[in-house]
Chains A and B, each alone.
Chain A
Amino acid sequence: SQTIHQWPATLVQPVGSPLSLECTVEGTSNPNLYWYRQAAGRGLQLLFYSVGIGQISSEVPQNLSASRPQDRQFILSSKKLLLSDSGFYLCAWRQGGKLFFGSGTQLSVL
């Protein structure tokens, strides 16, 4: 069966520090992968999606970037975090029209 792993579960980082969040999927090949952010009081916002290795599409201009170095690996990064980057980050993959989510990373930028 397919599973999605996301880590870490929580992260506290100072402003200006770098960020790397990793997501991996097991049990499937060539999945569409997504990064969403859920900020307090707001809905989920799509940040990036990828339909294959090295293929990244950005939905909103921001301080973050994404990479897909392997078929089942999706990484969210930042060189210098801002306070506004705080939020709950969710990785997801798509199968048969459905989206399946990882357990999320709660990022607090202080």
Chain B
Amino acid sequence: GAGVSQSPRYKVAKRGQDVALRCDPISGHVSLFWYQQALGQGPEFLTYFQNEAQLDKSGLPSDRFFAERPEGSVSTLKIQRTQQEDSAVYLCASSPRGTSGGASITGELFFGEGSRLTVL
């Protein structure tokens, strides 16, 4: 497809279950971001990958959250022992640009439609 694809679109988990959310970025995009969006709020940064390297994971709320992008394309966000406060939409975004010499990325981030997680 032409855009960022996320799956599943909807996930209901019982408290304590583990979940895995998948992101297929636009082909060839170097940068990949995960954001968390609570109901009625703006997206909050979780983590950033440049190719397969996780360069920033400062936004991950706890060690129950883990993200990987082993081959520099598809990424998975895993949440262990889910809790009710994890309920949110998890957005993935990609960009054709990467950091260069420490310069920050500016320009368009292409967002997927998100995975809505509900923890009961």
A binds B: no
